[in-house]
Chain A
Amino acid sequence: METILKVEHLKKYFAINVGGPFARHMASLKAVDDVSFEVGRGETLGLVGETGCGKTTVGRTIVGLYAPTAGTITYCDENLCALSREAMRKVRSKLQMIFQDPYASLNPRMTVGNIIEEPMDIFNIGTMAERRERVQELLRTVGLNPEHTNRFPHEFSGGQRQRIGIARALAMNPEFIVADEPISALDVSIQAQIVNMLEDLQQNLGLTYLFIAHDLAMVKHISDRVLVAYLGKIVEVDESNDIYKHPLHPYTKALLSAVPIPDPRIEMQRQRIVLKGDLPSPVNPPSGCHFRTRCPIAQPICAEQEPELRDMGSGHMVSCHFAG
């Protein structure tokens, strides 16, 4: 499969103030700490993890909302960080994003038609009439009534607003879409609608997705491959069919064991792997392996040496001294 996006040694640190009122000093919040992966054209890559793992930051950095602290992002063989502003804007129109909160991701003062049309307006594409037509076509594509172009976002339900957000992302015919928790804020019975729609769009329009979420079951369902992240690092990469059956990293095992399954016969008997302790602060992550403070199999070497992401065969990568 042709690689469409390549992320190499990406780091994103945020400068923040820490300490109490008398001991303030600047520190680095290491949101993304040396992350590398590739995405093939037409594939859906899932990125899953809990709070503080950096998955949202990765998504936003790829789309250009944040500038990387270090590392490179290569899209179709073009290094995004090295482009001029104009060239970057053109490439960025191929890389779009769908946001989590359907209530906050649409400008409440603009009509739905204007929202969807805006990308075309910015790049000066098409005449007014052509744009109107395209807006209606997009609304139909996402399953909404094309007559509602003059309505405002608050008149729509959450699921409908998310569709509008997707229509906006599709306006410029993107190739790559970063979906940042696109369904977490929706009702359960609506989530499946949106997921199915995303799958259909991928088929019909040849899209590539980076699907970021914390819902492991949904990520496994929609993705071809899954990246598991913890505290700014990738701990495991595997095909989604395989990762449930053969997780290698202790964190992945704990994560999988924590996800509830809608079957009382299983749930009532289940023995869970319960992680001890709390998530360490991303300002001061543990030395060596970031996960060692909560890992059930941690050894002294874990504090001294950070494990590398090793290939265990057929693309299954783990970063743990004791995996396999």
Chain B
Amino acid sequence: MAAPTTWQFKEGVTPDAGSFVPAPKGSGELEQITGRPTTYWSDAIRRIRRNKLAVVGFWIIIALFVIAIFGPMVSPYSYEDQNLENTFQSPTLQHPFGTDQLGRDQMTRVMYGSRISLAVGIVCAALNFLIGVTYGGIAAYFGGRVDDIMMRIVDILYGIPTLIIVILLTVLFKDKGVSPLVNVFIAIGLTYWLPMARIVRGEILSLKEREFALAAKTIGAPNNRILFKHLIPNAMGPIIVTVTLEIPSAIFTEAFLSYIGLGVSAPVASWGVLASDGTEAIRSFPYLVLFPALAISLTMFAFNFLGDGLRDALDPRLRQ
């Protein structure tokens, strides 16, 4: 099993005098970088594409947006048009979701409701994001006493059932001249930031000891720059996932509030209101509840699937 001691050359290569002459070096050849420009995001997008459920969730959400924006516009009915001769209709071609006790087209009302739900989802997620990220970021960055106090406050707030706080806030602002929808925004936005704060705090705590954060300090960056320009952008992965997963909570809470009469009320058609109205006739005309309930469930599934997919795709440890 000895190694060849003879020189074997492959086909087409015949060594001549010129073969053993030193080859000139290409300049710049040495400090090349591989031309595969993958960023964190392109890698994440590739990974999430492979997750079928997440992709389905994504398209459902897109469809939801399209319906929310354009649906009520193209519908021949408005959400409050009453037609007392047409009450309690089962689904037909004219009224694919049926009509309610006042003859209003359910499909239009469900589509209109999607506007409310999406608005709630987005606004509340934005508020949660702003409050939670800033709070958690500050607690983690300054650490020590500040962190202890801030997180104990969070712990205490965690102990109170969020629904109770939301209900209390809604009742508080109810007759203060604030529109019911804005009331809902405030109530949900002010309570649901707790998980975000905790998650951001955890991420920032580990990131702030990383060498690039230390390097930022040594080159003289002030605290807010380090926190907002270096640390938080690197925590974007878990932040995005948390935001995506908080949207269905917000949507559901609004539906719940409206269902028990604390959120928006008739004739505004939020899915919760629709479900509430429909509950009265549930024995005889179950589809009045069915369609809003389906809408809520489908939307929540979609955001949850997308959020789960994002969590896997954005996890740097699973990077390929």
Contacts and interface: CB of A to CB of B under 8 A. Distances in A.
The answer on direct contact between A and B (beta carbons under 8 Å) is yes
Interface of A: 60, 63-65, 89, 92-93, 95-97, 99-101, 104-109, 118-119, 122-123, 143-145, 148, 151-152, 155-157, 160, 165, 168-169, 171-172
A64 B218 contact: yes
Interface in B199-258: 210-212, 214-222, 225, 230, 233-234
Contact of B219 (A100, A108, A119, A143): A119
Nearest to B144: A15
Q: Which of the four size classes fits the interface of chain B? A: 20 to 34
Given A107-B230, A109-B40, A99 B219 contact: no
B20 to A, nearest CB: 25
Interface stretch (B30-38, B158-166, B185-193): B30-38
B211 A108 contact: no
Contacts of A172: 219
B39 interface: yes
B88 to A, nearest CB: 57
B211 A92 contact: no
23 contacts: A63-B218, A64-B218, A65-B214, A92-B220, A97-B215, A97-B218, A99-B211, A104-B212, A105-B215, A106-B212, A106-B215, A108-B212, A109-B40, A118-B221, A119-B219, A122-B221, A122-B222, A122-B225, A123-B220, A151-B33, A152-B39, A155-B34, A169-B219
B197 to A, nearest CB: 22
A118 to B, nearest CB: 6
Given A108-B234, A145-B28, A155 B216 contact: no
Contacts of A168: 215, 219
Nearest to A152: B39
A118 B219 contact: yes
Given A104-B211, A107-B230, A152-B39, 16 more contacts: A64-B217, A92-B218, A93-B219, A93-B220, A95-B218, A99-B211, A105-B212, A107-B212, A107-B234, A108-B40, A122-B220, A123-B220, A155-B36, A156-B33, A168-B219, A171-B219
Contact of A89 (B36, B215, B220): B220
Nearest to A100: B211
Given A109-B40, A109-B233, A96 B219 contact: yes
A46 B210 CA distance: 24
A47 to B, nearest CB: 17
Given A109-B234, A155-B37, A104 B210 contact: yes
B218 A165 contact: no
A155 B36 CA distance: 8
A69 to B, nearest CB: 15
Contacts, number: 75
A152 B230 CA distance: 14
Contacts of A144: 31
Nearest to B39: A152
A165 B215 contact: yes
A289 B225 CA distance: 44
A101 B33 contact: no
Nearest to A101: B211
A289 B234 CA distance: 45
A63 B212 CA distance: 15
A64 B212 CA distance: 15
Contact of A148 (B33, B39, B221): B33
Contact of B33 (A100, A160, A171): A160
A119 B234 CA distance: 19
A143 B215 CA distance: 21
A97 B233 CA distance: 23
Contacts of A123: 220
A119 B233 contact: no
A99 B218 CA distance: 11
B33 A155 contact: yes
A308 to B, nearest CB: 33
B107 to A, nearest CB: 45
Contacts of B211: 99-101, 104-105
Given A109-B234, A144-B31, A151-B33, A96 B40 contact: no
B214 A60 contact: yes
With most chain A CB atoms within 10 A of its CB, the pick from B36, B214, B218 is B218
